[in-house]
Chains A and B, each alone.
Chain A
C-alpha cells in the first residue's frame, strides 16, 4: 500500500444514482480504489456500465449521492483534474491555437504566459504549422491531440481520459497510444483512462481495473508488470497475452448479471 502522501486520487464508497421518470438507476455502487501519484491506470468494463459516470464524478461534473473523492487526501482541492472526452469537442469558431489557449483565458492568465504555454503544448503534441487551422480542417487524430493539449495546458494533477481514442481507426489509435505514453513520460501526470480495448489498456497502464456492469463495482485490479518504455514488441510477450486472457475472462464474467 502506498503511503497517503503518495496517493493522488482516492475514491471511497462512491455512489451515483440517476433519477428520471422511469425510476432510479444505480450507476455506481460503493466504488473503491486509489491511484498512486504519477501512475497510469486504465479502466475497462462493459459498455453502459458507468465508466464515464465515474470519470465525471471524479472531475466534479456529477455530484455523487454518497462516498467521497479525495485528491492527495483532501476533498475538492480546487479539483486539479483535466478531462478529455471521447469526441474532441473543439470549439469550431476557434483556431487550433485558440482552442488550446481557452483554459488559460478562462483562468485569466497574462497574455504572454498564454502564448508561451500554448506554443509549448502545440510543440508537445506535434502540431506546429497548424496553429491557424480551424477544427473542421483537422483529421480525427489531430483533433483529439488538440483536445489532449487543451487539457494538459492547465497543468492538471490528474488527467482523466474518457475513451479518447474510441473514434479513431486502429492504426491511428495505436500511434496515439504511443504519443500519449511519450507525453506522459515527459510530463509525469497521474492518468485515469477509460477504454474499451483490452490491448490498449495493457499497453498503456501500470494497473488495469475491471468494473462490473451497473451498478458498477471494481471486480479486478490487475497490475501490469511490463517494463517501460513500452514497445510494440511487448504486445507478443507471454505476460501481455496472459494479462489479456485474464482481463478478457473477467470482462466476460462481468457482463453476465451479477448478484
Chain B
C-alpha cells in the first residue's frame, strides 16, 4: 500500500465502475444516443433518412398518448405469446416422442435438418396465402420459427441423459413416468433452456416477418406504414419496441434459467 493516494483512488474509481453493470449499461446507452445525435447534426441528414433521438422520442410520446402504439404492440405481443406457447408445446412433445423412438427420429431427421435450413422469410408468404393475412398465419410463422430450435434441443437434451443415471433409475425400479420426472426433465433442462433462449429471440423475428408480408396491425404493420409515409421516426419507434420486446423475452428465459438451474452453483460465480 505504498502507492500515491491519487493513483489508488483512480484505480478504485475504474474498478467500481466496471463492477456496476447497471451504471455501465446506462453509460453505453447515453454514449450511443450522443453519437447518434452528433451524426444527425454533423452530416445534416433530413429526418426521413435519419431522425434524431429527440424526434424519435417525440414520436414515441405522441403514438403512446394516442394509444396507437399500444394497439399494435399488444397485437404483436399476442402473436408472439401464442406462437411461443404452440411452438414450445409442440416441439417438447414431439421431441420427447422422438427421443423414445430412434427409428422415428432417423426417419424424420432429414426433414428436421432440411426444414431448419429453409429461411422463414421465404415460407412466410406461403403461409399467408394458405391461412390468410390474419392472426393465424402470424402465429403459425412464429410457432414454426420457435419450433425447430426447441425441438432439436429437447431431443439432444433427452438423448444426452447419462446412461448410468438411467441405470440407477432402473435399479430403483422406477416407472417411465418417474424416470421422466426425476431424471429426464431435470437432466435435459439445461440444453432445453438453451433452445428456449434461441426460440424466444427468434419468435419476435417470426412474428415480424409475418406482419411485414401482409397484415393490418402489429409493429411490423407500423413499420410498413412508416416506410410508406416516409415517417422514419415511426419506423424507429417500432424497431426500438421490437428490440425491447426481444430483449425482455431473452431476459425472462435467463431469469428462468437462473431459477431452475440454481443447482449449478458455479453459474453464480461466473
Interface 1/0s, chain B 166-177, versus A by CB < 8 A? 011111111000
- For B168, what are the chain A residues with a Cβ–Cβ distance below 8 Å? 85, 89, 91
The reply to whether the CB of A184 lies closer than 8 angstroms to some CB of chain B is no
Tell me whether B164 and A106 are in contact (CB under 8 A).
no
A91/B183 contact (C-beta < 8 A), A85-B164, A134-B265 known = yes
**Residues B182-235 near A (CB distance < 8 A):** 182-183, 186-187, 189
The reply to whether the CB of A114 lies closer than 8 angstroms to some CB of chain B is no
Interface 1/0s, chain A 176-210, versus B by CB < 8 A? 00000000000000000000000000000000000
Report the minimum CB–CB distance from A154 to chain B (whole Å). 7
A93, A102, A103: most-surrounded residue (chain B CB, <10 A): A93
**Residues B130-176 near A (CB distance < 8 A):** 162, 164-165, 167-174
Closest to A84 in B: B171
The reply to whether the CB of B111 lies closer than 8 angstroms to some CB of chain A is no
CA distance A53 to B164 in the complex (A): 14
Partner of A59 from the list B171, B182, B189, B266 (CB cut-off 8 Å) is: B171
- For B167, what are the chain A residues with a Cβ–Cβ distance below 8 Å? 61, 85, 89
- For B266, what are the chain A residues with a Cβ–Cβ distance below 8 Å? 136
CA distance A61 to B162 in the complex (A): 16
The reply to whether the CB of B14 lies closer than 8 angstroms to some CB of chain A is no
CA distance A82 to B171 in the complex (A): 7
The reply to whether the CB of B178 lies closer than 8 angstroms to some CB of chain A is yes
Interface residue tally of chain B, by bracket? 20 to 34
CA distance A10 to B8 in the complex (A): 77
The reply to whether the CB of B263 lies closer than 8 angstroms to some CB of chain A is yes
Report the minimum CB–CB distance from B190 to chain A (whole Å). 9
The reply to whether the CB of A87 lies closer than 8 angstroms to some CB of chain B is yes
Tell me whether B186 and A89 are in contact (CB under 8 A).
no
Tell me whether B172 and A91 are in contact (CB under 8 A).
no
CA distance A89 to B168 in the complex (A): 7
CA distance A33 to B172 in the complex (A): 25
CA distance A93 to B183 in the complex (A): 10
The reply to whether the CB of A4 lies closer than 8 angstroms to some CB of chain B is no
Dominant SS at the A interface? loop
Partner of B173 from the list A87, A89, A91, A106 (CB cut-off 8 Å) is: A106
A154/B172 contact (C-beta < 8 A), A85-B164, A106-B178 known = yes
How many A residues, CB 8 Å from partner?
22
Tell me whether A61 and B164 are in contact (CB under 8 A).
no
Partner of B182 from the list A81, A106, A134, A137 (CB cut-off 8 Å) is: A106
The reply to whether the CB of A105 lies closer than 8 angstroms to some CB of chain B is yes
CA distance A212 to B266 in the complex (A): 46
CA distance A134 to B186 in the complex (A): 14
Partner of A93 from the list B169, B170, B178, B263 (CB cut-off 8 Å) is: B263
- For B265, what are the chain A residues with a Cβ–Cβ distance below 8 Å? 134, 136-137
Tell me whether B164 and A105 are in contact (CB under 8 A).
no
The reply to whether the CB of A83 lies closer than 8 angstroms to some CB of chain B is yes
Tell me whether A134 and B173 are in contact (CB under 8 A).
no
CA distance A102 to B183 in the complex (A): 10
CA distance A137 to B264 in the complex (A): 10
CA distance A92 to B182 in the complex (A): 12
Report the minimum CB–CB distance from A237 to chain B (whole Å). 37
- For A136, what are the chain B residues with a Cβ–Cβ distance below 8 Å? 265-266
Tell me whether B172 and A103 are in contact (CB under 8 A).
yes
Closest to B175 in A: A106
Closest to B168 in A: A89
Interface 1/0s, chain A 83-112, versus B by CB < 8 A? 101010101111100000011011000000
CA distance A105 to B169 in the complex (A): 12
CA distance A2 to B189 in the complex (A): 51
Interface 1/0s, chain B 227-270, versus A by CB < 8 A? 00000000000000000000000000000000001011110000
Closest to B263 in A: A93
Report the minimum CB–CB distance from B185 to chain A (whole Å). 10
Report the minimum CB–CB distance from A171 to chain B (whole Å). 26
- For B186, what are the chain A residues with a Cβ–Cβ distance below 8 Å? 91, 93
- For A85, what are the chain B residues with a Cβ–Cβ distance below 8 Å? 164, 167-168
What 5 new A-B contacts, CB under 8 Å, besides A91-B168, A134-B263? A93-B263, A103-B172, A106-B172, A134-B265, A154-B172
Q: Which residue numbers of B lie inside 8 Å of A, CB to CB?
A: 162, 164-165, 167-174, 178, 182-183, 186-187, 189, 261, 263-266
What are 5 A-B interface contacts by the 8 Å CB criterion?
A: A82-B171, A91-B182, A93-B189, A102-B172, A105-B182
Q: Which residue numbers of A lie inside 8 Å of B, CB to CB?
A: 59, 61, 79, 81-83, 85, 87, 89, 91-95, 102-103, 105-106, 134, 136-137, 154
Lowest 5 CB-CB distances: which A-B pairs, in order? A93-B263, A83-B171, A93-B186, A89-B164, A106-B174
